[in-house]
Amino acid sequence: MKFTIYQESRPGKRANNEDRLAHCYSRDALLMVVADGMGGHYYGEIAAQIAVQTLIETFQRNATPSIADPFMFLQKAITNAHRAIIDFTDAHKLRDSPRTTCVACIVQDNIAFWAHAGDSRLYLLRGGKVLTHTRDHSRVQLLMDQGLINEAQAAVHPERNKVYSCLGGPQEPEIEFSRKTPLEAGDVLALCTDGLWGVIPGEMMAVALKADNLMQAVPMLLGQADIRGGPNADNLSIVVVRWEDSYILAGNSGASAISTQTMSRDTVTTKLDTFGRNPNYKTERTTIQKYSK
């Protein structure tokens, strides 16, 4: 595999960052995951942390070095994360369960597989345009599907933050899966929370992330989202990967791309940012990882 990846999370104008994000890869498989703790419930950031940690640890156990069935992996890992949040609630005798949205993606054999619950999104970008993105499990999305409101009305709808599927709720999450999606060299996958996509249109995101240098493009995009969000700007989080191989024909990666060709079968590399409940929270940022053959 050859790819360039970058992740970053910012608190926006909120005192606490309830987003969590990570990526993890073996020689033959890559996992990316983003979770957005739901602020209307206790300890949303703990639910998000449990979700991300559960998926990462499951990947570390199962990527040997590929995932036998990516869709089954996502279904089991997300469901287990949901149950782990419920167990945490019971163990600590909380009066309300922490809850989180979640979107996760596996790439192997130059094919992307993704799943989500809630309104954290995945975008597939190609040539500076949005090829597809996940469908939100939200009240306003249902209203849009019924033709009762349009996209502009959805953006300011008073129930725009209400989701009907999440991890940690009283019902099992409704998990929606993608199709097996072959990737072309230069394709960009972006997983992000609603603090970003809610203020940055997909077309703008696609143009910004077409830039060669993700280490410059992503912070600039988050900076724009922070400004557009105004005094109540939400937490902003994104994991972006530019794929450097092609399902049909292998592409030529740049010197800055990660190459997993020389990794041993039993090695897994993980990037999981650390966060704290701290009013003086500072931006957590990864650096781009560089590997050569």
| Ordered domains of the chain (ranges, CATH) | 2-285 (3.60.40.10)
* Whole-number pLDDT of residue 96: 87
Q: What are phi and psi of 167, to 5 degrees?
A: -95, 135
In whole angstroms, how large is the CA radius of gyration of the chain?
18
pTM: 0.87
Tokens of 139: 């009240």
* Whole-number pLDDT of residue 226: 96
* Whole-number pLDDT of residue 277: 56
The ranges of the chain with pLDDT < 70 are 40-41, 158, 248-257, 274-293
Residues 6+ apart with CB under 8 A from 125: 131, 187, 188, 189, 190, 205, 206, 209, 210
Q: Taking Cα atoms as reference points, which of 26, 32, 3 lies closest to residue 264? A: 26
Q: Does the CA dihedral 27-268-166-225 come out positive or negative?
A: negative
**Alpha-carbon distance 3 to 288, whole Å?**
11
Q: Taking Cα atoms as reference points, which of 242, 19, 270 lies closest to residue 123? A: 242
Going by their DSSP bridges, the two strands 181-182 and 269-272 should be labelled as unpaired
Q: Taking Cα atoms as reference points, which of 160, 56, 185 lies closest to residue 151? A: 160
* Whole-number pLDDT of residue 284: 38
Cα 132-118-244 angle, rounded to 5 deg? 40
* Whole-number pLDDT of residue 41: 62
Q: Does the CA dihedral 184-188-193-196 come out positive or negative?
A: negative
* Whole-number pLDDT of residue 285: 39
* Whole-number pLDDT of residue 274: 67
Q: Please say whether the beta carbons of 108 and 117 come within 8 A.
A: no
**Alpha-carbon distance 35 to 100, whole Å?**
6
* DSSP for 271-292, written as a single string: EE------TT---EEPPPP---
* Whole-number pLDDT of residue 283: 36
**Alpha-carbon distance 42 to 271, whole Å?**
26
Angle between helices 44-62 and 70-91 (to 10 degrees): 140
